[in-house]
Structure 1
Amino acid sequence: MLNTANLTEIKNEEVVYQNPLLFLKIWEIKHDQPHFGIPEPWTWHWHKQVEFLVVTQGQLGIQTKDTYTIMEAGDIMVLGSSQPHRTYKHSEAPLHQIVFQIDLTQHFDLSTLAYLHLFSELTHSLEPFNALFRANAAVRASAYRLISQICEESQSRQIGYELAIVAAIKQLLLLLLRNDQRGLSGLTEDSGISRLRPALSYIDEHLTERITVEDVCRILNLSYHYFIKYFKKVMGLSFIDYVNYKRIKKAERLLLTGDLSIMEISYEAGIQNMAQFYKLFKRYNQCSPKEFKLRLRDQTEVRVE
């Protein structure tokens, strides 16, 4: 009987993105030695990123705080953000697996934000997608192919590999969306986004300024309490979280394309408090603004070599 009670010793695993602009890490693990079984100690770990596990050969045992599963070749499992889990080689046969860790929230722009709340886990778990993988062989095979493609592109790094990876990620999200068994797809009504569009445009145009809920309520002629509830229902995240998300995205662009100082970038993004800026930037990127620039530079140097 597996012990699910001891969740106190959990390692917070830092995920270092292979490309800081793609917000993902993907690699293949091969265990060809005959040794198998639960290790001692069998430690838990978690990370902010969503994780897809794909078994290409052998058997993988995996335990979360709620379930214990033996994955076979061809199986796929998705682990939600910050979900504790631990794995082991379950049989003597070689075990080959693909581990795909990604910040899904970074792969939505203004044209697709209507679907962000279906994957952001703020209100809905990703766990039902595992039932979809188990029940629908066609969906499982398509997801397997897309994740394998992302892994191959990440390893080969041929020209345009970033475009290929982004396209495959969008196809994976679309696959899950159109086969969603949670019955949530109807929540993403265009009428809701259309009603909020003046507010979204106002936010984009005034990011460098102080933006309040009251300002946007006046534009939409809505009461404060109705607006904040309606905004979260339609967008899947709170008004404040959305504004912060847009500000950090602007800061990222400024870090990549300009020569402004960190303080100037913070001000340009509408965040006057430097401590708050660093805190928000690290929340979305798991690194400081300076580290973000250094990682991009290192990535570029690797590509040149």
Structure 2
Amino acid sequence: MESAHSAFSEIVNEEVIYQNPLLFLKIWELGSDSAHFGVPTPWLWHSHKQVEFLVVMEGLLAIQTKHELAVLSAGDVIVLGSSQPHRTYKYSAGPLRQIVFQIDLKQHFDLSTMPYLHCFSELTHPLEQFNELFRSNPGVKQAAYDFILQIFEESQSRKIGYELAISAAIKNLLLLMLRNDNRDLSALAEDSGIARLRPALDHIDNHLGERITVEDVCSLLNLSYHYFIKYFKKVMGISFVDYVNYKRIKKAERLLLTGDLSMMEVSFEVGILNMAQFYKLFKRHNQCSPKEFKQRMRSQTGVTPAPLLAQAD
């Protein structure tokens, strides 16, 4: 068998199409009743920018990452970090059933939970380290299994309020990992300095439709340019520019769903005056154009947003 440390010369960069653009996830069941098993030819690597959880419900699944080759059995859970190469195969002749759950985690943090984003940052805390938690703590593994199964069932039933149920289960899954991790990430979050950045975050929220400069925010906090850039990245887990762009696109999503503005009007409303830049940023966050996003959401909900009413003088 090829070594787990072999060169990743052929990695398929998989594009994940979200089942609901506002939930930023894809979750589905894979199954095989075939007696055929073993290493396929070719056995290709693949990766994607989304974090992936794998849950085995029945049978045996072999998975290889750049760190290890493991065999998962029924009840096992494994998490793969963003853009981490991996490949799998059916390990036994019996039936195999698994849930594949791909998600852009950073999209599920709002202002109240943003201080914890860096606890799940690939730069400082590789998510694969949580797999040791699943292996060593059966109770945590079972709880994670149950949350992921709940997310899958809600995504299949699509009952009214399923988005709320899925969002709650995702946050509970993250909380489970956070509170049971032996690296004491909670201590890091408590010392994140979010209170010190609050004037800057409020300034960003209040001026999304305008030009926002690092210099303006530095003056609010009385910090030097270079210190602020490093401090913001340390506290928030993402750069100042990426955070501002994230907030602009989130506002653009709301405008696209709740109003009937043109694409140019939406772009200007969120402070992006260059349409090419607006399309580029929107596609980076949503894997689709603003127009496709609007059409997809309308087709999912079956509701066409009413035009904005003019305010009376």
TM-score (normalised: structure 1): 0.95
Aligned-pair distance for 1:252? 0.9
Aligned to 2:306: none
**What is residue 118 of structure 2 aligned with on the other side?**
117
Which has the higher mean CA deviation after the structures are superposed, 178-187 or 225-234?
178-187
Q: Is the CA contact (8 Å cut-off) linking 2:283 and 2:289 kept in structure 1?
A: yes
Letter of the aligned partner of 1:173 in structure 2?
A: L
* Cross-structure match for 1:132: 133
Kindly indicate whether the alpha-carbon contact (under 8 Å) linking 1:51 and 1:80 is maintained by their aligned counterparts in 2: yes
Q: Which amino acid is 2:253 matched to?
A: E
How far the C-alpha of 1:51 sits from its partner, in A, is 0.5
One-letter amino acid of the structure 1 residue matched with residue 96 of structure 2: L
Q: Specify the SS of the correspondent of 2:193.
A: helix
| CA distance in 1: counterparts of 2:288 and 2:10, whole angstroms | 24
Q: How far does residue 6 in structure 1 lie from its aligned partner after superposition? A: 3.8
Residues 178 and 185 in structure 2, CA contact (< 8 A), matched pair in contact too: no
Q: Distance in 2 between matches of 1:245 and 1:76?
A: 30
Deviations 1:134-188 (A, max 9, x none): 0111100000011111111111112221111111111101101101223332121
Using the alignment, how far apart are the partners of 2:215 and 2:275 within structure 1? 25
Offset, 1:298: 2.3
Q: Offset of 1:267 from its aligned partner? A: 1.2
Q: CA deviation at 1:222?
A: 1.0
The alignment covers a number of residue pairs equal to 302
For residues 277 and 123 of structure 1, do their structure 2 counterparts lie closer, same or farther at Cα, with a shift above 3 Å needed? farther
Determine the C-alpha separation between the residues in 2 that align with 1:22 and 1:206: 26
Any gaps of 5 or more consecutive residues in structure 1? Answer: none
Per-residue deviation, 1:191: 6.9
Counterpart-to-counterpart distance in 2, 1:288 and 1:49: 18
Query: What whole-Å deviation, never above 9, does each CA across 1:103-137 have from its counterpart, x for those lacking one?
Result: 11111111110111112424321111011000111
Residue 2 (structure 1) aligned with residue 2 (structure 2): yes
1:5 Cα shift?
2.3
Query: In the alignment, is the contact (CA less than 8 A) between 2:32 and 2:95 conserved in 1?
Result: yes
- SS at the partner of 2:127? coil
Distance 1:266 1:65 in 2: 41
> What does 1:159-174 align with in structure 2 at a 5 Å threshold?
159-174=160-175
Equivalent in the alignment of 1:251: 252
Residue in 2 aligned with 1:212?
Answer: 213
2 CA distance for matches of 1:190 and 1:207? 27
Q: 1:301 to 1:120 in 2, by over 3 A?
A: farther
Contact 1:128 1:182 in 2 (8 A): no
The answer for the alignment partner of 1:94 in structure 2 is: 95
Residue type of the alignment partner of 1:203: I
Give the equivalent residue in structure 2 for 1:29: 30
Give the Cα separation in 1 of the matches to 2:10 and 2:97.
Answer: 27
Query: Is 1:62–2:63 an aligned residue pair?
Result: yes
CA positional deviation for 1:253: 0.8
Moved more, 206-215 or 6-15: 6-15
Structure 2 letter corresponding to 1:283 = R
Q: Is the 8 A contact 1:251 1:266 kept in 2?
A: yes
Q: Which amino acid aligns with 1:111?
A: S
Q: Deviation per CA, 1:11-34, whole angstroms, max 9, x where unpaired?
A: 121211111111111111111111
What is the rounded CA distance, in whole Å, between the counterparts of 1:180 and 1:274 in structure 2? 43
**How far apart in 2 are the matches of 1:277 and 1:181?**
41
Q: Which runs of 4+ in 1 moved over 6 A?
A: none
Amino acid in the other structure paired with 1:189: E
2:48 corresponds in structure 1 to 47
Whether the 8 Å contact between 2:192 and 2:235 is mirrored in structure 1 is no
Alignment correspondent of 1:266 = 267
Tell me how far apart the structure 2 counterparts of residues 148 and 299 of structure 1 sit (CA, whole Å). 22
Task: Using structure 2 for the length normalisation, give the TM-score.
Answer: 0.93
Alignment check: 8 A CA contact 1:129 1:181 kept: no
Deviation at 1:300, TM superposition (A): 2.1
Q: CA deviation at 1:64?
A: 1.3
Matches within 5 A, 1:149-298: 149-189=150-190, 192-298=193-299
Q: What is the identity, as a one-letter code, of the residue corresponding to 2:222?
A: N
* Conserved? CA contact 1:17–1:24, under 8 Å: yes
Q: Distance between the aligned counterparts of 1:140 and 1:100, measured in 2? A: 15
